[in-house]
Amino acid sequence: MTQADGLPDAATRLFITASVMAATLMNSLDTTIANVALPHIQGSVSASRDQISWVLTSYIVSAAITIPLTGWIAGRFGRKRLMLVSILGFTIASGLCGIATNLGEIVGFRLLQGVFGAALLPMSQAILLDINPPEKHGQAMAVWTMGAILGPILGPVLGGWLTDNLSWRWVFYINLPIGLLAFIGLSLFLAETRSAKPVKLDLFGFATLGLAIGALQLFLDRGQQLDWFYSTEIRFEAAAFGMFLFMFIVQTLTAPRPFIELGLFADRNFLFCSVLGFLLGVLVFGVLSILPQLLETLMGYPVVTTGFVMAPIGIGTLVSITVVRRIANKVDARLLMFCGLLLTAVAVFMLSGMSLQMGQSFVTFAGFCQGMGTGLLFVPLSTLAFATLPAHFRNEGAAMFTLIRNLGSSIGISAFSVLSYRNTETVRARLAEGLRLDNPAVATMPGHFSLSDPTGIAALSGEVERQAQMVAYIDGFWLLGVLAIAAVPLILLMRSPRRGAPSVSLHLE
């Protein structure tokens, strides 16, 4: 049922929100939940390390290519139809991943997961904005952020538990009941919306953008594994990215109706929020990529323990989102974002002070602070990005906002993987230079280390490697802290919408 202002009543909004959040959580969980199950999947399908990486790559690449198209599809065929088809396709693909018997099947089904799941995050954001009045947009984005951010954080914990207690197939089967509930809820309560005048698709623009994004994602995902530009594949992907990006830019600047309307970025808030969203993708997922590796490889934590040590990141995010929901309409969004960046910087600078002797309490406290900062950042950022954006750009804007943030996370993960590897090599060489008989410190080494006994040499080499890796991780955290501070000036370029200003929303019919 709808009210006089065209918005659904409170009860209908509640059911729509619950259904949308189920779809959002299902999709965001799958970005990380399968990672911890990879060794088990590898053994089950008898795949090599290089081959099994395609289980993750296929999902990431297919989703990245499809995301830009979701805005046009929603306008042409209707947002409700798009959501229902996406949920149904994602759920079926998840079930097929669970029953896959060989590598080819699981990679193919993961590709389908990425295609169908691409629309879930941006369209769920657009739906929550449209079904709520302007004064509740902050609260709506707090709920959306809860699903979008908590999913990747909780994925490793849930994936590790399911894999250890049931089997790797359950990291996919868990989507079946969630997808079914989301499908039923949206079928019953969500009204249809579509553009009054469907825009003709710029097929060449979409094709060149999709190919550029696909090449970039392959380049980032497989670069470290294949030693970057020493690999013919990586050189080919880099060249393809440059060529298709150039073609897309030319097409966008010259076509009468380009695939991405330049007017979308004429809105100052959307432009700078997108840039900040890109940097936050680097920040948040940079920590999520570095910290588990550190805990498992250097601290010796099991996968499940690592998940629980990182759980305070999710708890901190949940706490801050709850706070932001209550104060979103009372406090300037830019002030909340400043506090979030400051808290994030403090957290990663704390992590840069870690050592191999640190206990769990230090990591959990820093993680809690980082989670608090994440919630303070993403909720007002998601609200401010669309606060002044014209209504007819909302579908396309949601898709681009999600795509830019995802690219930030992909680039951040790859960049810090490269920096960690290169820095480890540099530090290891520097430490090895000091291991000489004429160095007084060598004489004070523990007895199990030696420069003459083979066993002692092996133990010493292993310790040098651990220390070098630790220094590399510390440098990575330090760089993330500097990035958080450097992002602060972007907030000054945004403008807060006037209180009481008319809304620009697509009312449901």
Please state, in angstroms and rounded to a whole number, the distance separating the CA atoms of residues 214 and 64.
Answer: 7
Q: Which residue has the tokens 């089967």?
A: 173
Please state, in angstroms and rounded to a whole number, the distance separating the CA atoms of residues 480 and 473.
Answer: 11
Report how far apart, in Å, the C-alpha atoms of 236 and of each of 132, 232, 241 are. 47, 6, 9
Please state, in angstroms and rounded to a whole number, the distance separating the CA atoms of residues 414 and 155.
Answer: 20
Give the closest residue to 418 by CA, choosing from 474, 481, 476, 464: 476
Tokens at 495, concatenated: 């403008």
Least confident of 38-52, 64-78, 203-217, 223-237: 38-52
Tokens at 145, concatenated: 């952020």
Average pLDDT over residues 382-410: 81
- Top mean pLDDT of 129-133, 193-197, 245-249, 315-319 is at 245-249
| Number of neighbouring beta carbons within 10 Å of residue 500 | 7
Angle separating helix axes 38-45 and 103-117, nearest 10 degrees: 140
Least confident of 29-33, 298-302, 344-348, 501-505: 501-505
> Contacts for 193-196 with beta carbons within 8 Å, 24 or more apart?
193/74, 193/78, 193/79, 193/80, 193/130, 193/506, 193/508, 193/509, 194/74, 194/75, 194/76, 194/77, 194/78, 194/79, 195/75, 195/76, 195/392
Select the more confidently predicted residue: 83 or 50. Answer: 83
Give the closest residue to 148 by CA, choosing from 336, 57, 21, 324: 21
Average pLDDT over residues 218-238: 84
Least confident of 46-55, 327-336, 396-405: 46-55
Quick: pLDDT tens for 61-113.
788 888 888 888 888 888 888 999 999 999 999 999 999 888 888 889 998 99
Quick: pLDDT tens for 114-166.
899 888 888 888 888 888 887 777 778 778 877 777 777 777 778 878 887 88
In this predicted structure, the answer to whether residue 404 has a pLDDT above a threshold of 90 is no
Give the count of alpha carbons within 13 A of 491, CB side only: 21
Say what the pLDDT of residue 358 is.
79
Say what the pLDDT of residue 447 is.
63
For residue 281, what are the contacts with CB-CB under 8 A and spacing of at least 6? Answer: 404, 405, 406, 407, 408, 409, 410, 411, 412
- Top mean pLDDT of 36-50, 189-203, 225-239 is at 225-239
Tokens at 389, concatenated: 């954006």
Quick: pLDDT tens for 463-478.
888 888 888 888 888 9
Say what the pLDDT of residue 297 is.
77
Say what the pLDDT of residue 507 is.
34
Select the more confidently predicted residue: 433 or 209. Answer: 209
Please state, in angstroms and rounded to a whole number, the distance separating the CA atoms of residues 353 and 365.
Answer: 13
For residue 311, what are the contacts with CB-CB under 8 A and spacing of at least 6? Answer: 153, 154, 157, 364, 367
Tokens at 72, concatenated: 């046009």
Torsion angle (degrees, nearest 10) of CA 225, 227, 228, 234: -70
First to last CA, the chain: 10
Report how far apart, in Å, the C-alpha atoms of 291 and of each of 47, 154, 225, 469, 483 are. 27, 14, 19, 12, 17
Average pLDDT over residues 436-447: 68
Average pLDDT over residues 406-431: 81
**Single pTM value for the model:** 0.78
